[in-house]
Amino acid sequence: MAAARIEARIQNLPLWRSLAPARDLPARPGALCFNVLNGGAHAPNSLDFQEFMITPLGAPSVAEAVRAGAEVYAALRRRLSGKGFVTGLGDEGGFAPDIARPEDVLTELVATIADAGYTPDRDGVAIALDPAASEFYRDGLYTVAGEKLSSDDMISRYGEIADRYPVWSLEDGLAEQDWDGWQRLNAALGDRVQLVGDDILVTNPAIIAEAIERNIANAALIKPNQIGTVTETLEAMRLCREAGWAQMISHRSGETPDTFIADLTVATGCGQIKSGAPARGERVAKYNRLIQIESEHPELPYRGT
């Protein structure tokens, strides 16, 4: 990352522009996934699913997407507080109410999106999930709100969730060890939900190549720190593109104000980034950088996905 920044300075180019020429891709900002409610390992509550995100897919620009994210986030605080929930924050800036069932959280999110004046669907503000299922998988079973579930039970539950709620993306819906379950999940839901691999892929080109061959998902989470170098990160993204897989660039729980991943999102044209809630400096820095790039380069196309 340091070498890439130095190269950009030597060329007197913005970082995203310096990174972009190596790929024949349209540089563009992408869909913003705001983590507005936390559970699992990211929060001290009884919620097993780790991340509930909102994505303003209908926003016409990065700036308007950030506005929508901030307004829904503020509306969620008011709604939770009005119902007597503690509105402390999880690791990535999302609220951490003590709600056990993920469906109950989704019901609140749909109502909150409407409270904020938006439509809860793919033309307005949609929902993305990251259950981080490896965290609640033991001895071949998943435990959600005290209930023991098989892989097929989880797949059925996700199908019901997709039927009832405007969920467009599901990350780590099954455990990293459960490759056979992932195949069945992709067969069942891959035609209508983005299925993102994180723990199972760890931005590793070799693992991604195997996952593509085995058809376990249709998208990969991209974290440069997981694989260790920018070069390997770009190789992982290349494999995904060639296979027709989507890519979502991601921050980490332990973050800094560094904005490299915002420039990487624009440079690769991958179309998706998650950087936590629209709160806390280390999270907001990435969104602010995307707004800055958009304002300085209005010629860049913006697409929700």
Looking at 92, 108, 171, 294, which residue is catalytic? 92
8, 254, 89, 177 alpha-carbon torsion, rounded to 10°:
110
* 92 noted as active-site residue: yes
* Catalytic residue chosen out of the listed positions 108, 171, 176, 223: 223
Residue 88 φ then ψ, to 5°: -65, 165
Contact (CB, 8 A) for 203 and 222: yes
Angle, helices 260-268/281-296, rounded to nearest 10 degrees? 40
Phi, psi of 57 (to 5 degrees): -65, -25
- What tokens were used for 221? 């989470």
Active-site residue flag, 223? yes
Q: Given phi > 0 = left and psi -120 to 50 = alpha, else beta, which region is 271?
A: left
- The torsion angle over the Cα atoms of residues 93, 175, 269 and 15, rounded to 10 degrees, is 60
Give me the active site residues, please. Answer: 92, 223
